[in-house]
Amino acid sequence: MSTIVDTTTLLDIIGVSLLAAVGVTGAFSLAILGATRFSDLRRDGRAVEAACFGVLTTLALAACAGAIVYGIVEIQTK
Amino acid sequence: MQSDLILVIVVATALTFDFTNGFHDTANVVATSISTRAMSPRLAVGFAAILNFVGAFISLKVAATVANGIVSATEVTTTVIFAGLVGAIAWNLVTWYFGLPSSSSHALIGGVVGATLVAAGTSAINGEGLVSKVVIPALIAPTLAFVAAGLAILIAYRIVGRQRPGPVNRGFRTGQIASGGLLALAHGTNDAQKTMGVITLALIANGNLSSDPAKFHVPEWVVISAAVAIALGTYTGGWRIIRTMGSRIIKMDPAQGFSAQGAGAAVILASTHFGYPLSTTQVISGGVMGAGAARRLSAVRWGVAGNIAIAWILTLPASAAIGGLVYGVTRIFGTGALGPVVVSVAILAAGIGVFARRLQRGSPITAAEA
């Protein structure tokens, strides 16, 4: 059975899928959290804290975009 | 001359299958975006059609698996491939008629395996390839999407759970444009390649391409025509199945839709990278159920999910049986082109009959209703 089932490949697929799905959703959730807090804090006049959440949003969105682009490039090149 | 005529019929049938695949399967891809109102039905379907087309150009590993890894390319004939395709199309029509999102991919593989078994016996089937690249991934992929979507939505709720629902829902709806697009891209990548693989297998069987796996090559015209066929099928839409996937399994919020689509895209793209011909229907169903069950087990309509599971279980044996039967019928007319021509006319008439009956029973679900 072990010769029929390519365990290494299956484990790779499981690992990559879980990491990508959970990682991208987590990062996007952080981006939404950052955007929501940024808007609230800026309205309250707390510019420094708002800027921190703005940076969080930018980094989280960049992480999402980076993960997607990396994944597609990886599929195309190997 | 006769064999070239059969090849032309096989290519036309394969592209018809690809069209029905888009029509039948891709609805699943857009259902989540429509259900959460992230996109209007028409926009979602148009967007998915474009990304299906683009996705078809990303990889050829699944095409290589279908052409070389499941049946022996040197032992099958173009008539066998034709019979397998007809088995898959017939099964797709049956499941479409009843509104069940079964797997077009497994129908295709089942049809080809069934026809090969009848024509050339077990020696022509690559059992190892069938188990390792089709059966095992078929079991693992939906479960993996279920777990991935479940974990993803739990993390999302943990991060944004205390925020105001309005901006959070708006954010995830916007995100669904990307996650839905990625899922459509993944679908095009995996599913269009199955048609490319079958056409390539037919070209090898007909002697137009080398049977040496080291010289495996998919001609450009095959890639482009498969991409166009699946995109046209997607654009035509399958509104009945959209409703089953989008709202009858669970009622979703945009965060759940994002998680389900993200998990589905991740599983399909990772599997495509390793050349596994997955059922995108099964994967997205797993993702949708995982995103629903993680929040509340009772949110999932397990009865509908059970019907879908039955359709999955039946798909491989049923399409294999039809594929085998079609091969037998084709051989009644000899080894020439007459058999495929007669069967093509019969399947076309049956398809028109199914559509007409469907229309008599009630108008199909339209973009406005979905």
Select from B149, B164, B178 the Cβ nearest to the Cβ of A21: B149
Residue B229 vs residue B313, higher pLDDT: B229
pLDDT surpasses 80 at B163: yes
Residue B101: per-residue pLDDT: 65
Cβ A18–B160 below 8 Å, yes or no?
no
Q: What is the pLDDT of residue B365?
A: 46
pLDDT tens digit sequence for B178-212: 999 999 999 999 989 999 999 999 999 888 998 88
pLDDT of residue B46: 87
CA B231 to chain centre: 13
Higher pLDDT, A76 or B56: B56
State how far the Cα of B214 lies from the Cα of A22, in Å rounded to an integer.
Answer: 37
CB atoms within 10 A of CB A4: 13
For each of chain A's 78 residues, which pLDDT tens digit applies?
Answer: 556 678 898 999 999 999 999 999 999 999 999 999 999 999 989 999 999 999 999 999 999 999 999 988 888 876
CB–CB contact A36 B131 (8 Å): no
Structure tokens at B245: 């996937």
d(CA B49, CA B42): 11
Place B349 in a pLDDT band, splitting at 50, 70 and 90.
Answer: confident
| Cβ–Cβ under 8 Å, residues B294 and B149 | yes
Give CA–CA dist B256/B262, Å, rounded. Answer: 10
Distance (Å, whole) CA B333 – CA B316: 27
Contact A24 B163 (CB under 8 A): no
> Which of chain B's residues have a Cβ under 8 Å away from the Cβ of A76?
58-59
**What tokens does B331 get?**
């051989």
Q: Between B53 and B44, name the one with better pLDDT.
A: B53
Min distance A56 CA to chain B CA atoms (Å): 13
Q: Which of B118, B146, B106 is nearest to B314 (CA)?
A: B106
The structure tokens listed for B191 are 């599913």
Task: Quote the minimal CA–CA distance from B333 to chain A in Å.
Answer: 39
B145 touches chain A (CB under 8 A): yes
d(C-alpha B180, C-alpha B48), whole Å: 8
Which residue from B16, B4, B191 is spatially nearest to B79, judged by alpha carbons? Answer: B4
Q: Residues of chain B with pLDDT > 90: what percent?
A: 39
Partner-chain residue, chosen from A4, A22, A74, that has the shortest CB–CB distance to B273 = A74
> What is the Cα–Cα distance from B273 to B276, expressed in whole angstroms?
8
pLDDT band at residue B247 using 50, 70 and 90 as cut-offs:
low
Assign residue A15 a region: left if phi > 0, alpha if psi is -120 to 50, beta otherwise? Answer: alpha
Contact (Cβ atoms closer than 8 angstroms) between residue B243 and residue B35: no
Which residues, including other chains, have CB under 8 Å from residue B363's CB and lie 6 or more apart?
A: none
Q: What is the pLDDT confidence band of residue B103, given thresholds at 50, 70 and 90?
A: confident
- Neighbouring C-alpha atoms within 13 Å toward the C-beta of B14: 32
pLDDT for residue B240? 54
CB-CB contact of B146 with B286 (8 Å): yes
Which stretches does DSSP call E strand in chain B? Answer: none
Which A residues 30-69 touch B at CB under 8 Å?
30-33, 35-37, 39, 64, 68
Per-residue pLDDT band at B322 (split at 50, 70, 90): very high
Tokens coding B194:
């199955």
pTM over the 0.95 mark: no
By the 8 A CB rule, do B197 and B56 touch?
no
